[in-house]
Amino acid sequence: MSSHISNERPQPDKVLADIADYVLNYKITSDLAWSTAHYCLLDTLGCGLEALTYPACTKLLGPVVKGTVVPNGAKVPGTQFQLDPIQAAFNIGAIIRWLDFNDTWLAAEWGHPSDNLGGILATADWLSRTNLAEGKAPLKMKQVLEAMIMAHEVQGVLALENSFNKVGLDHVLLVKVASTAVVGKLLGLSRDELINAISLAFVDGQSLRTYRHAPNTGSRKSWAAGDATARAVRLALIAQTGEMGYPSVLTAKTWGFYDVSFKGNEFKFQRGYGSYVMENVLFKISFPAEFHAQTAVEAAMTLNKKLAAIGKTSEDIKKITIRTHEAAIRIIDKKGPLNNPADRDHTIQYMVAIPLIFGRLTAADYEDVVAQDPRIDILRDKISCVEDPQFTKDYHDPEKRSIPNALTIELNDGTVLDEVVVEYPIGHKRRREEGIPELLKKYKINLARIFPEKQQKTLQARTMDYATLQDMDVQEFVDLFVI
């Protein structure tokens, strides 16, 4: 006896339609969101400039085929590359994420919403240069900031209640979805075209998280977001041709995303789309460290000073206990050999050991030349993590969104130092007043890594004032960063 399968094409899944309607229709009125997006733009590009000092990153940059010239193409800040928008998105996305120093969003799923800037800036720059060549008006930087706020929101709201890591998928899936949506708007897609584009992002096979976890931790985690945001530009351009979408890509029985990749569960939503995520995003200001360890590193820096004050060093330590939250234990509590920088910057024991020994934690401290110091592994073996259920609860509390860690050190002579607790990192919304001046210092330091002094001063004058920046043509802004 045969059963018939209905071939009636359904209405688009509500998740797709809601994203499209938000991106096309929502008006951002939050001054906090706009100002935070400005700081986020500066910080994100600064992170990319620092990455340009690492050959492991720069070897991936440039056109796919050497010597390719793209008239009116998008430029890659800090370089002389001018590329098609897809490859430019990869380049910008890769440098942004390379050192694990750009912003972070922590919820049921983790991620880095500023990863979307790769696709946003590349598309806006290319469109602006093309418009000028055709006698049309270029895009303004306020449109870039708007796209950033919306991409943050799409990625972050989807992440609040939906754990992709628990089914083995990487959070760059959300970069691809969010970038597709906002790039599609920049391209001028209709509502139907935009829904088609977003559906294509879900149809794709999604990245596995295995490159973020032992025993396979590796450098793909540093360019995976660039890959995702570049793919988003490609899919939006495909949808612009009128190519069809797949309206029940999520809900289709057997063949849809929920059944194939999400254990049959539908997405859950804590809130609608607005500007909440940009307002509450976490900046990495002091340390290039996986965010669940930011407060642990800050505590370790405090303890380094306490040890020095009593005439002790890391070699006098017998035992270190890290009281932490469940997500930190699941992601970065790691024993055994660490094989590369990507492995080290996702290991809480390593990230705590470095400041206890050296009184610092920089991107260079993940490199082999530092990692070969035998004191690091000796100290790592003395560090253990324990979950504090209250810390885990506070981590998930939407009113707190804390990322707490507490360190206790026992010395060889039996002395136990007072526990140092840090609940909110300096990049948290609750520490904005303290954090923004430090974020701007970080930006200036990163400008100085690449540009001569005169260009640094021009960049500071033209980019650090919100009123000046928002009204700037996109291609004019990007040209400021050409070396």
Omega of the bond leading into 215 within 30 degrees of 0 (cis): yes
Query: What pLDDT is attached to residue 106?
Result: 87
> Could you give the CA distance from residue 406 to residue 390 in angstroms, rounded to a whole number?
12
Task: Match 């960063």 to its residue by tokens.
Answer: 481
Cross-strand pairs, 416: 410
DSSP codes of every residue in 148-213: HHHHHHHHHHHHHH--SGGGTB-THHHHHHHHHHHHHHHHT--HHHHHHHHHHHHHSPPPBGGGGS
Query: What pLDDT is attached to residue 177?
Result: 98
Which of these, 189, 50, 201, lies nearest to 116 by C-alpha position?
201
**CB 401: neighbour CB atoms within 10 A?**
18
Query: What pLDDT is attached to residue 396?
Result: 87
Positive or negative: CA dihedral 431, 434, 439, 442: negative
Query: What pLDDT is attached to residue 1?
Result: 46
What is the enclosing helix (H) or strand (E) of 76? none
Query: What pLDDT is attached to residue 14?
Result: 98
Is residue 337 classed as helix, strand or coil in its secondary structure? coil
Contact predicate 112/106, CB 8 Å = no
> Could you give the CA distance from residue 154 to residue 252 in angstroms, rounded to a whole number?
22
Residues of the chain with pLDDT under 50: 1
